[in-house]
Structure 1
């Protein structure tokens, strides 16, 4: 039996050739594995529960949504952003508002502009701090805007920061003309310099309302630890610079997650060289604001 079987196998190999025989065997194994895995996969899929899907209106992507809480959303929100820096934490939001929204805010603020002021530290006066901030501005809350635009932007800022609207101060809408600027400073308050605070500014959101032909950048001179050797004069326009573009937003955090002030969050507004700079600033605090409406 063994001799006969060996002779038969030798005869088959002689007719097909060894390479052809190997090919046939490999093809058979592949087909067997393919159909076997397909059947197994089908069995698994049949037992899997069907997901509840929502199709995004923007790009056709399908999302498997979770059930939202009572004050949550039943849909996906998409707000594009770019991380500009981790030291400080700074994010850029392109086309955060429309040109029409921006122009409406400018028109609203223009008749009420007054010279910008500073929060003074112990020992400072309006006279000895003259020239640090040379813009004009006005404070506007969303409740004062009959058009509702400030409220819409405020809600979008809350979603971008994940900090409720009630933690925001009124908008500070600013205009910088040629030569006007704001020397480098912190938005957060050190109690040792400004006295006890009811709450702390943790983040700032800047909405650029106009393009600026030249100058007017928002700058972070200490970005990634640069210029921190004690020689920086708080006036030089150096470091990370963000060029104002109408409708774009800039978010940066003034404190670390543990609540201490981030030294790299020092920032300023470079002098405008050509054109005008309009910006709406929303300062966001770690506590609900008593005067929020």
Structure 2
């Protein structure tokens, strides 16, 4: 048997390498490899469990909004560390999704505030264009309301939260454009930024947009048609 052809298994390889050793030595070597393999597999298992536990803990900390020890903030900073869950939908354009960003009560409060003042939505006109030229591009109804116009403080809370996730000061934001889209209404593909080559010189420029859905409906969507793979 010791002179036979070696097979493809581990034990056959072990016998082939120990054909000049006595039985006790063979037994000790096999025992050593068995024990080494056992501890190696146990160590790898512990590492895998540790990684899994770490990922689970991180996910739980995000889901539960756990607060951590904070540092002393500056005059414009926050007193505590908070976690606002988000999902990356696209890198270019950079699009993030924030589930449950506002409570149902806050959303209904905004709807009740805006509904009596809704008017047909308009679009910015290029030099030489008329309202007739833009007819059919945007058919929703809407109203602009700033946070300081909301006596209930709902928009103030939402605006503060938006400033945190966008890392942009509240003072740099516009008033809220609260919109209602009924069946069949739309806003054709467009840029929120105003290209000076088309609209003329601009005093300021938009660098981010934040969309907050106030109700759940069947049908309709917001689409970003030009995602780039980077």
The structural deviation recorded for 1:152 is 0.1
The structural deviation recorded for 1:223 is 1.8
| C-alpha RMSD of the superposition | 2.6
The structural deviation recorded for 1:123 is 2.1
Alpha-carbon distance between aligned partners in 1 of 2:185 and 2:85, rounded to the nearest angstrom: 31
Q: Is the 8 A contact 2:193 2:205 kept in 1?
A: yes
Give the structure 2 partner of residue 93 of structure 1.
98
Structure 1's 192 and 208: CA in aligned 2 closer, same or farther, altered over 3 A? same
Give the structure 2 partner of residue 154 of structure 1.
159
Matches within 5 A, 1:134-283: 134-215=139-220, 217-224=221-228
Structure 1's 156 and 116: CA in aligned 2 closer, same or farther, altered over 3 A? same
Alpha-carbon distance between aligned partners in 1 of 2:63 and 2:123, rounded to the nearest angstrom: 43
Alpha-carbon distance between aligned partners in 1 of 2:66 and 2:208, rounded to the nearest angstrom: 32
Q: Is the 8 A contact 2:66 2:83 kept in 1?
A: no
Whether 2:143 is the aligned partner of 1:132: answer no
Q: TM-score, normalised by structure 2?
A: 0.70
The structural deviation recorded for 1:128 is 1.2
Alpha-carbon distance between aligned partners in 2 of 1:120 and 1:62, rounded to the nearest angstrom: 47
Give the structure 2 partner of residue 257 of structure 1.
none
Q: Deviations over 1:155-190 (max 9, x none)?
A: 000000000100010000000111100000000011
Alpha-carbon distance between aligned partners in 1 of 2:65 and 2:141, rounded to the nearest angstrom: 45
Matches within 5 A, 1:72-111: 72-111=77-116
Structure 1's 224 and 70: CA in aligned 2 closer, same or farther, altered over 3 A? same
Give the structure 2 partner of residue 68 of structure 1.
73
Q: Deviations over 1:202-233 (max 9, x none)?
A: 00001100112112x111111227xxxxxxxx
The structural deviation recorded for 1:64 is 5.1
Alpha-carbon distance between aligned partners in 1 of 2:95 and 2:224, rounded to the nearest angstrom: 10
User: 5+ unaligned residues in a row in structure 2: which ranges?
Assistant: 1-23, 36-60
The structural deviation recorded for 1:65 is 3.8
The structural deviation recorded for 1:57 is 11
Q: Is the 8 A contact 2:193 2:206 kept in 1?
A: yes
More strand by share: 1
What is the total number of aligned residue pairs between the two structures?
A: 178
Larger RCO (CA within 8 A; separation ≥ 6): 1
Structure 1's 87 and 73: CA in aligned 2 closer, same or farther, altered over 3 A? same
More helix by share: 2
User: 5+ unaligned residues in a row in structure 1: which ranges?
Assistant: 1-16, 28-55, 226-293
Alpha-carbon distance between aligned partners in 1 of 2:89 and 2:62, rounded to the nearest angstrom: 28
The structural deviation recorded for 1:110 is 0.5
Alpha-carbon distance between aligned partners in 2 of 1:223 and 1:158, rounded to the nearest angstrom: 25
Alpha-carbon distance between aligned partners in 1 of 2:106 and 2:168, rounded to the nearest angstrom: 22
Could you list the structure 1 runs, at least 4 aligned residues long, displaced by more than 6 angstroms after superposition. Answer: 17-20
The structural deviation recorded for 1:59 is 4.0
The structural deviation recorded for 1:105 is 0.4
